Chains A and B, each alone.
Chain A
Amino acid sequence: MTLTYYLVLAAILFTIGAVGVLVRRNAIVVFMCIELMLNSVNLTLVTFARATGTVDGQIMAFFVMVVAAAEVVVGLAIIMSIYRTRRSASVDDANLLKY
Chain B
Amino acid sequence: MIEAPDLSLAALAPLLFVFGAACIGVLVEAFAPRDVRHPVQVAVALVGTGGGFASTLVYAATQDLSAGGEITAGGALAVDKAGLFLQATVAGLATLAMLLFAERGLDPARSAFVAAAAVPAGSPRDRELATATRVQTEVYPLALFAVGGMMVFVTANDLLIMFVALEVLSLPLYLISGLARRRRLLSQEAAVKYFLLGAFASAFFLYGLALVYGATGTIRLGEIRQAVGEDGGDVLVVLGLALLVVGLLFKASVAPFHSWTPDVYQGAPTPVTAFMAACTKVAAFGAILRLLYVAFGTEEWTWRPLIYGVAIVSMVLGAVLGLTQTDLKRMLAYSSIAHAGFLLTGVLGLGADGAGSGLAATMFYLLTYGLTTLGAFAVLTLVRDGDGEAGHLSQWAGLASRSPLTAAVMGLFLLALAGIPLTAGFTGKFAVFRAAIEEGAWPLVLVAVLASAVAAFFYLRVIVLMYFSPPAADGPTVGVPGIPTTVVLAVTASATLALGILPGAVLDLAERAAIFVG
Report A's interface with B, CB cutoff 8 A: 7, 14, 17-18, 21, 27, 30-31, 34, 37-38, 40-41, 44-45, 47-48, 51-52, 54, 56-57, 60, 63-64, 67, 70-71, 74-75, 77-79, 81-82, 84-86, 91, 94-99
Contact = CB atoms under 8 A, between A and B. Distances in A.
Contacts of B196: 21, 27, 30-31, 34, 75, 91
Given A70-B171, A79-B192, A96-B186, A60 B219 contact: yes
A44 B199 contact: no
Contacts of B214: 7, 44, 47-48, 51-52
A95 B189 CA distance: 8
A38 B203 contact: yes
B129 to A, nearest CB: 14
Contacts, number: 121
Interface string B223-249: 000000000000000000000000000
A75 B184 CA distance: 17
Given A44-B214, A51-B214, A85 B121 contact: yes
The interface centre, meaning the residue of A67, A81, A85, A91 with most chain B CB atoms within 10 A of its CB, is: A81
A96 B189 CA distance: 8
Contacts of B506: none
A38 B185 CA distance: 29
A78 B192 CA distance: 6
Nearest to A48: B214
Interface of B: 117-118, 120-122, 160, 163-164, 167, 171, 174-175, 178, 184-186, 188-193, 195-196, 199-200, 203, 206-207, 209-211, 213-214, 217-219, 262-263, 266-267, 324
Contacts of B207: 14, 37, 40-41, 44
B217 A54 contact: yes
B195 A75 contact: yes
A34 B189 contact: no
B235 to A, nearest CB: 12
Contacts of A84: 120
Contacts of B186: 96-97
A82 B189 contact: yes
Contacts of A41: 203, 206-207, 209-210
A17 B203 contact: yes
A87 to B, nearest CB: 10
A97 B213 contact: no
Q: From DSSP, what is the main secondary structure of chain B's interface residues?
A: helix
Given A34-B200, A82-B188, A74 B195 contact: yes
Contacts of B171: 70-71, 74
Nearest to A82: B188
B164 A63 contact: yes
A38 B209 CA distance: 12
A44 B211 contact: yes
Given A48-B214, A82-B188, A97-B263, A37 B193 contact: no
A45 B208 CA distance: 11
Contact of B167 (A44, A70, A82): A70
A46 B196 CA distance: 26
Contact of B192 (A18, A27, A34, A99): A27
A97 B190 contact: yes
Contacts of B120: 81, 84-85
Given A54-B217, A57-B213, A60-B213, A71 B199 contact: yes
B167 A71 contact: yes
Given A44-B210, A78-B195, A96-B189, 8 more contacts: A27-B192, A34-B200, A37-B200, A37-B203, A41-B210, A91-B192, A96-B186, A97-B186
A30 B192 CA distance: 11
A91 to B, nearest CB: 7
B178 A85 contact: no
B193 A34 contact: no
Contact of A31 (B199, B213, B219, B324): B199
Contacts of A63: 160, 163-164
Contacts of A52: 214, 217
A94 B193 contact: yes
A60 B200 CA distance: 19
A70 B206 CA distance: 15
B122 A85 contact: yes
A84 to B, nearest CB: 4
A31 B58 CA distance: 44
B163 A97 contact: no
Contact of A81 (B122, B178, B199, B266): B178
Nearest to B213: A48
A37 B218 CA distance: 22
A34 B199 contact: yes
Nearest to A60: B160
27 contacts: A14-B207, A18-B203, A41-B207, A41-B209, A44-B211, A44-B214, A47-B214, A48-B214, A52-B214, A56-B213, A60-B160, A63-B163, A67-B167, A74-B174, A74-B195, A78-B188, A79-B192, A84-B120, A85-B120, A85-B188, A91-B196, A94-B189, A94-B192, A95-B189, A97-B186, A97-B193, A97-B267
B213 A34 contact: no
A85 B185 contact: yes
